Chain A
Amino acid sequence: MLQAVGLSCRRGERRLFSDLNVKVERGKLLAVVGENGSGKTSLLRIFSSLLPPEEGSVRWEGEDIHQLKEFYSGQLMYLGHLNGIKDDLTAVENLMSSMALAGEPCSESGAKEALEAIGLKRLVHRLPSKVLSQGQKRRVALARLWLSTHPLWLLDEPFTSLDTASTAVVTQRLHAHLQREGLVVVVTHQEIALPSERLQQLRLAG
Chain B
Amino acid sequence: MSHSSMWDSISGIIRRDLLLAMRRWSDAAMSVFFLVIVVSLFPLGVGPEPAVLRTIAPGVLWVAALLTCLLSLSRVFTPDYLDGVLEQMVLVPQPLSLLVLGKVLAHWVISGLPVVLLSPLLGLQFGLDGEALGVLVLSLLLGTPTLSMIGAIGAALVLGVRGSGLLVALLVLPLYVPVLIFGAGAVTSSMAGIGGEANLSLLGACLVLSLFLAPWATAAALRIALE
User: A74-B1, A102-B9, A103-B6 given as contacts; is B90 within 8 A of A89 (CB)?
Assistant: no
A85 within 8 A of B: yes
Determine how close the nearest CB of chain B comes to the CB of A156; give it in whole angstroms: 10
Which residues of chain B are within 8 angstroms of A103 by Cβ–Cβ distance? Answer: 1, 5-6, 8-9, 92-94
Chain B minimum-CB-distance residue to A72: B93
Which residues of chain B are within 8 angstroms of A97 by Cβ–Cβ distance? Answer: 12, 15-16
Determine how close the nearest CB of chain A comes to the CB of B53; give it in whole angstroms: 41
| B19 A89 Cβ-Cβ under 8 A | yes
Distance of A102 Cα from B88 Cα, bound (Å): 8
Contact check: which of A48, A81, A101, A128 meets B89 at CB < 8 Å?
Answer: A101
Which residues of chain B are within 8 angstroms of A100 by Cβ–Cβ distance? Answer: 8-9, 11-12, 15-16
Q: Which parts of A86-133 form the interface with B (CB within 8 Å)?
A: 86-89, 93, 97-98, 100-105, 128
B163 within 8 A of A: no
Which residues of chain B are within 8 angstroms of A83 by Cβ–Cβ distance? Answer: 83-84
A38 within 8 A of B: no
Main SS of the interface on chain A?
A: loop
Distance of A105 Cα from B7 Cα, bound (Å): 11
Q: Which of A51, A70, A73, A86 has the most CB of B within 10 A?
A: A86
Which residues of chain A are within 8 angstroms of B166 by Cβ–Cβ distance? Answer: none
| A50 B91 Cβ-Cβ under 8 A | yes
Chain B minimum-CB-distance residue to A76: B91
Determine how close the nearest CB of chain B comes to the CB of A131; give it in whole angstroms: 13
| B83 A89 Cβ-Cβ under 8 A | no
Chain A minimum-CB-distance residue to B24: A88
Q: Which parts of B56-80 form the interface with A (CB within 8 Å)?
A: 79
Q: Mark A59-95, 1 if CB is under 8 A from B, else 0.
A: 0000000000011011010101111111111000100
Contact check: which of B8, B83, B87, B94 meets A70 at CB < 8 Å?
Answer: B94
Determine how close the nearest CB of chain A comes to the CB of B3; give it in whole angstroms: 11
| A50 B90 Cβ-Cβ under 8 A | yes
Which residues of chain A are within 8 angstroms of B92 by Cβ–Cβ distance? Answer: 73, 101-103
B95 within 8 A of A: yes
Contact check: which of A74, A78, A81 meets B88 at CB < 8 Å?
Answer: A78
Determine how close the nearest CB of chain A comes to the CB of B83; give it in whole angstroms: 6
Q: Which parts of B1-30 form the interface with A (CB within 8 Å)?
A: 1, 5-6, 8-9, 11-13, 15-16, 19-20, 23-24
| B16 A84 Cβ-Cβ under 8 A | no
Which residues of chain A are within 8 angstroms of B9 by Cβ–Cβ distance? Answer: 100-103
Determine how close the nearest CB of chain B comes to the CB of A48; give it in whole angstroms: 6
| B91 A89 Cβ-Cβ under 8 A | no
A34 within 8 A of B: no
Determine how close the nearest CB of chain A comes to the CB of B221; give it in whole angstroms: 15
Contact check: which of A52, A80, A82, A89 meets B23 at CB < 8 Å?
Answer: A89
User: A89-B19, A97-B16 given as contacts; is B87 within 8 A of A73 (CB)?
Assistant: no
Which residues of chain A are within 8 angstroms of B15 by Cβ–Cβ distance? Answer: 97, 100
User: A83-B83, A101-B9, A103-B6 given as contacts; is B226 within 8 A of A50 (CB)?
Assistant: yes
Distance of A23 Cα from B8 Cα, bound (Å): 34
| B87 A88 Cβ-Cβ under 8 A | no
Which residues of chain A are within 8 angstroms of B85 by Cβ–Cβ distance? Answer: 84-86, 101
User: A89-B16, A89-B23, A97-B15 given as contacts; is B6 within 8 A of A78 (CB)?
Assistant: no
Q: What would 8 A/B residue contacts be, using CB atoms closer than 8 Å?
A: A50-B90, A70-B95, A74-B1, A78-B91, A84-B85, A89-B23, A101-B88, A102-B92
Identify the B interface with A (CB < 8 A): 1, 5-6, 8-9, 11-13, 15-16, 19-20, 23-24, 79, 82-85, 87-95, 99, 226-227
Given contact pairs A74-B1, A86-B85, a sample of 10 additional A-B residue pairs in the complex whose CB atoms are under 8 Å apart: A51-B226, A73-B91, A80-B87, A81-B84, A82-B82, A82-B83, A83-B83, A100-B9, A101-B12, A101-B99
